[in-house]
Amino acid sequence: MATTSGYENREAAPPPPRRPLRVGLALNGPAEPESWAESMELIERADALGYDSFWLPENHFRAGATASPLLTLAAVAARTRKLRLATTSILIPIHDPWRVAAEVATLDQLSGGRVIFGVGRGFEALMFRTFGVNPKEKRDRFDEALDTILDAWTGRGEGFPPDLPLPVQQPNPPVVVAAFGPKGLRQASSRGLPYLASPLERLDVLEENYARHRDGLPDDVDAATLEVPVMRTFHVAGSREEAGRARDAAASEFQGIAERVGRNLAEKASGDADERVVVGGVDEVVDRVEQYREALGMDLMVVRPAPGTVHRERLAALDRLINEVVPRLRPSPPSG
């Protein structure tokens, strides 16, 4: 096994070779019930445009929280044809792993094998307190729950419930670990799983994180075989005014998030909003995406619509990204 400590003294592993870029869409749940129609329109437009995947987080106890992403993704499965259905992260330390295994497998069956199983630990004290989980135990609970879920899908282990639903994708749907900090990175890399970064962190922090992740992979896992998903607040604007409005709103959003997370997380999320968003006209966005591709080897760009924009602007931005930005990106070198 490769070591996952001593990062300060290591020679940074280079990013993997550039691969074809795919684009996913990420949303939170709407704060008002009537906004679900707009969210579904965005999702259906992404499906029609050829987006790769739709990503939904689990969160609790605030406006726009999605308490049950699998429930929402089941509705999305019925209204789309090709989009892969991804959880930004199911917070498995607070759930019964048997139930998670059964529900994810059922969604994979309903969707014809389109699930991406994104998992995470969570960080908000209120959530752990409400669900009766000691936050100091979250990493151990994460490992135990993920082991149980993966073993359940392959039928390993004594005392497993009979006739548990199995996913279409065997031995399991693709697994991605959402992480924010060195300990979370170790949990992803030690298992040889792809890592999905927080949209709060600056590009220079992401470079360090992805290098740490590559350095901590087991010896028998080639980093070039793993996806490199990157989530960013994203908007291809139709005017300078629109871009400025999106940047200002993103800065306010980041400030609000930093005020409710711990000091260490807030420090990593500090800095100018331009260091954590991809917002601008087509030319500017092309340049920024190329920067992420070069620095990280990004092959899956998961875009969060920018706050401060209205529905018609978000729909237009989805179109511009696929029809005007992606065709201008430098092609990946031929394999072999």
Domain boundaries of the chain, sorted by first residue: 7-328
Mean pLDDT confidence for 67-88: 94
Q: Considering only CA atoms, give the Rg of the chain.
A: 19
Q: State the sign of the Cα–Cα–Cα–Cα dihedral 131, 254, 267, 191.
A: positive
**Predicted local confidence at residue 180, as pLDDT:** 79
Q: Which residue has the higher pLDDT, 13 or 88?
A: 88
**241 — pLDDT class (breaks 50, 70, 90):** very high
- The number of residues making up the chain comes to 336
Q: Which residue has the higher pLDDT, 12 or 276?
A: 276
Q: Which residue has the higher pLDDT, 336 or 190?
A: 190
132-174, pLDDT tens digit by residue?
788 788 888 999 999 999 999 987 666 677 788 999 999 999 9
**Predicted local confidence at residue 4, as pLDDT:** 34
Tell me what percent of the chain is helix, strand and coil, each rounded to the nearest 5: 50, 15, 35
Provide, rounded to the nearest whole percent, the portion of the chain with pLDDT above 70.
87
**221 — pLDDT class (breaks 50, 70, 90):** very high
**Predicted local confidence at residue 158, as pLDDT:** 65
- 7-328 under CATH 3.20.20.30, yes or no: yes
> Residues 167, 150: contact at Cβ < 8 Å?
no
**Predicted local confidence at residue 264, as pLDDT:** 59
76's CB contacts (< 8 A; 6+ apart) are 40, 43, 54, 56, 83, 85
Side chain identity at residue 172, one-letter code: N
